[in-house]
Structure 1
Amino acid sequence: MKQIWLIATVDWMMEEERFRKSFQEHEGEKMWYHSQGDGIPRAQIISERADTFCYTVVVRRAKMNYCVFALLISVSSAAEIWNLQQLDDAKKAKDKNIILRDIQVPAGKALELQGLPNGTSITFAGRITFGYKEWKGPLVIIKGHNFHVEGKPGHVIDGEGHRWWDGLGGNGGKIKPCMIYVQLTHSKVKNIKVKNSPAHCWAINACRHVIFEGIVVDDTDGHAKGGHNTDGFDIAKSHHVKIKNSWVNNQDDCLALNSGTFITFENNTCEGGHGIAVAVGGYSENVAKHVNIRNCKVIKNNIGIRVKTLLNGKGIVKDINFDNVELKDISQTGIVIIGNYLNSGPRGEPTGDLPIQDLTINNVRGNVLRNGTNIQVWVKNGSNWKWNSQVVGGTKKLPCQGVPKGVNIQCG
């Protein structure tokens, strides 16, 4: 934290906002302030010490009448972080504004963005990389309250996932770390680019009132190099979370909502993976309610959208809404609503202890490739569904089961 003192002479009628604006634009620098367009300096920093600066404003009320007063302004200087030791030092100093540069995180360690003061601003401004080790991770931890996390142009959090990818994901082979674990309240995460996550990318857990905007998950390399289970966003035990204006190219679910309420996923594009999923039943909390997925594009995924509940699972899935979702070149199934999900694939008859209630499919449209299926429904105890879809192209027919009465669905 720096404090700045200035000596300033400014006209009494000068607008205070003009002075403040000029100061904010130059805060932390030596600067002159011109109250008029005559090039005559009216304010100047006159002293500089490492810990404190001050300024005094002299106001001219009349031609020969001067009034002098002191004004103290605090300016927060950003802590530049190049390694984990500097990050620890910033935590001890309770810095609330940190900039992360080209950090090389040692193998088996995480970039721990926790233990920081409420209201901290975190800026990614370089390339973040990680040493190789087989472990569960996560590689990055972001925990706190009222955080503002943002990426500057040109930055990247690079997992270099090819070092772990073996085509097996979490089903065997190398132990692969999760990329980023987030546990935030009343915060915003904006314009972050993640590349080549070893496994799941964003693990959003126990978050409250958090907005994710402009996120890029680029696991494109995994298509040719064995990426698997590289989920874009996994959400659990979270409430009032919004993800918008983001792009994911990966090898698993673009979004997997496992539990949470008041979740919004809007204006996002999903490419190459397993579509957008509400997936409930296999966790310590199994409630998904008040979910809105809208204005999204799902391109060249194996699944378009799906609601899947675990075979023999228990919980609540209610008020789930898909609106204005465009599907393009889906290889397997356009819309999937099933109650017999297992990781190895759907199996047997659906069970009814996790009913899908108040489901709305509206203006979900697009095409499935010829060998695929347009719509699959296999549930028990579903109720109060509204359905309006136009999915075409697939020729593989599958029977439907459990469609509520009065709902017109052309299965297959």
Structure 2
Amino acid sequence: MTSWVATSVALALCITVASAADVWNMEQLEQAKKGKDPVIRVRDIQVPAGRTLDFQGLDGRIIEFHGRVTFGYKEWSGHLIVIKGKNIKVLGMKGHSIDGEGHRWWDNCGGNCGKKKPFMIYTQLQDSVVYGLRIKNTPAWCFAINECNHVHYYNIHIDNRDGHTKGGHNTDGFDVHKSRNIRIYNSRVNNQDDCLAINSGWNIVFENNVCEGGHGIAVAVGGYDVNEAKNILIKNCKVIKNNIGIRVKTLLNGRGIVDGVTFENVELKDISETGIVIIGNYLNSGPRGEPTGGIPIRNLNIKNVRGNVLGNGTNIQINVAPGSPSGWTWNSQVKGGKKNPKCKGTPGNLKDPCNW
């Protein structure tokens, strides 16, 4: 833990002894936001259907979650929790649970069809800490990290394992967009979509995390108002029983850039489809057609990515527009499954990873 984060959490725990507002319902929350208590303790709130647990206008304050937070059922496309501001500490206290009871929305098609499903938590933060949250059964996407700067998310558990048998889909763990200087670490995600999806951002670190059951760790660029991902580090992570291990995917006919993505010391275990995927022809409905080079992938570093793919899976898939990528380095040991006959578009300085 970096020193400023450790100091922030220590100060938060000290302040909670001093002055805090206990909040048991939405009306008390609005009163607490108008007050001056440095700590807001959320206790066993039942959020009414179609309402947002709204933490805005709380710069410099601490939000603690105690007990069980639940939400009424409604088909809508809003956010169940919104946290915006500067210098905010969000702390999950011992024994708490934020339970979306997602089975009420799950219908095997997530955001693509069927019921309208709300986001779980939207964050737009600066110089802040989100620590220790225990989140269960999100209706669809869990964390939206949007336009954040200098924020640490750590010791967070997202448990959507019930969705494997009850129709969970698009239950992304962390979605990052237009954010800078973000660290996500010492966390665990069990879900039915990307553990991490970086759509755009700069100086993002995803470290010491465990991803189970979903679609792996992805840098997925294209189709948004900003299509740029630079200086991304995914390090010391485990990807267990996902369909994909790690991937960089850029939108077919998209425009933008991916520069400086590093996967270092990533362990893959029992991957069902493909261990490593690098493609330039991504669409939401799946890869299609010949890859385009409008979003070049530069300075990609694969360092000690290792593990196994199950019998009918594929070790490595690379399909990018020839001449668009550059400056790649590659060191992987992915066993099992089957090999592609040839990677397509790999930079000329690199031996074909598909045939190592």
The alignment's TM-score, normalised by the length of structure 1, stands at: 0.81
Secondary structure, in 3 states, of the residue corresponding to 1:372?
A: strand
Describe the SS at the equivalent of 2:184: strand
| Letter of the 1:389 counterpart | S
Give how far 1:195 is off. 0.1
Deviations for 1:169-221, whole angstroms, at most 9, x for unmatched residues?
01100000010000000000000011000000000000000000100000000
The separation in 2 between residues aligned to 1:82 and 1:229, in whole angstroms, is 31
Aligned: 1:169 with 2:110? yes
Matched-pair contact (CA < 8 Å) for 1:165–1:226? yes
Shift of 1:151: 0.6
Are the aligned partners of 2:315 and 2:335 in contact in 1 as well (CA < 8 Å)? yes
> Once the 2 structures are TM-superposed, how far is the Cα of residue 406 of structure 1 from its aligned partner?
2.0
Cα distance in 2 between the residues matched to 1:282 and 1:398: 30
Match of 1:351 in 2: 292
**Consecutive unaligned residues in structure 2, runs of 5 or more:** 1-12
Percent of pairs identical after alignment?
65
Aligned residues between the structures? 341
Aligned counterparts of 2:125 and 2:15: Cα–Cα separation in 1: 29
> Matches of 1:273 and 1:83 in 2, distance apart?
34
Alignment of 1:33-112 (within 5 A): 76-112=18-54
Counterpart-to-counterpart distance in 2, 1:181 and 1:410: 38
Q: How large is the RMSD of aligned CA atoms in angstroms?
A: 1.5
Aligned partners of 2:15 and 2:39 also within 8 Å: no
Distance 1:307 1:197 in 2: 25
Q: 1:77 Cα deviation (Å)?
A: 1.0
- Give the structure 2 partner of residue 20 of structure 1: none
* C-alpha distance 27-279 of structure 1, shift in aligned 2 (>3 A): closer
Q: Which has the higher contact order (CA 8 A, sep 6+)?
A: 2
2:333 maps to 390
Report the counterpart of residue 45 of structure 1 in structure 2. Answer: none
- The answer on whether the counterparts of 2:339 and 2:354 sit within 8 Å (CA) in structure 1 is no
Between the aligned partners of 1:398 and 1:302, the Cα distance in structure 2 is: 21
Q: Which residue of structure 2 aligns with residue 309 of structure 1?
A: 250
Match of 2:197 among 256, 275, 289: 256
User: Are 1:409 and 2:352 matched, yes or no?
Assistant: yes
Distance in 2 (CA, whole Å) between partners of 1:340 and 1:252 is 19
Q: Deviations over 1:127-169 (max 9, x none)?
A: 0000000001200001110011111111010000000000010
What code does the residue aligned with 2:98 have?
A: I
- Alignment correspondent of 2:216: 275
Whether contact under 8 Å (2:15, 2:38) holds in the other structure is no
5 Å-filtered alignment, 1:372-383, equals: 372-380=313-321, 381-383=324-326
Distance 2:160 2:142 in 1: 9
Residues of 1 paired with 2:78 and 2:139: CA distance? 10
Q: State how 1:4-403 maps to structure 2 within 5 Å.
A: 76-116=18-58, 118-380=59-321, 381-395=324-338, 397=340, 399-403=342-346
CA contact (8 A) 2:342 2:352 kept: no
Structure 1 gap ranges (5+):
1-24, 29-74
Equivalence for 1:31: none
Contact 2:91 2:133 in 1 (8 A): yes
1:274-294 alpha-carbon deviations (Å, 9 max, x no partner): 000000011000110000000
1:295-335 CA deviation, whole Å, 9 max, x = no partner? 00000000000000000000010000000000000000000
Residues in 2 aligned to 1:236 and 1:227: alpha-carbon distance in whole angstroms? 23
Say if 1:387 and 1:409, in contact at 8 Å, map to a contact too.
no
Q: C-alpha distance in 2, partners of 1:352/1:410?
A: 20
Q: 1:247 to 1:280 in 2, by over 3 A?
A: same
Deviations along 1:79-118, whole A, 9 cap, x unmatched?
Answer: 00000100000111133211010000000001001122x2
The structure-2 alpha-carbon separation of the partners of 1:240 and 1:26, relative to structure 1 and needing over 3 Å to count, comes to closer
Question: 1:398 Cα deviation (Å)?
Answer: 5.3
Amino acid at match of 2:231: H
> 2:85 & 2:73 partners in 1: Cα distance?
27
Tell me if the contact between 1:329 and 1:367 (Cα under 8 Å) persists in the aligned partners. yes
Preserved CA contact (<8 Å) 1:193 1:217: yes
Map of 2:3 onto structure 1: none
Specify the code of the residue in structure 2 equivalent to 1:200. Answer: W
Q: 1:27 offset after TM fit, Å?
A: 9.2
How far did 1:26 drift? Answer: 10
CA distance in 2, matches of 1:84, 1:398: 59
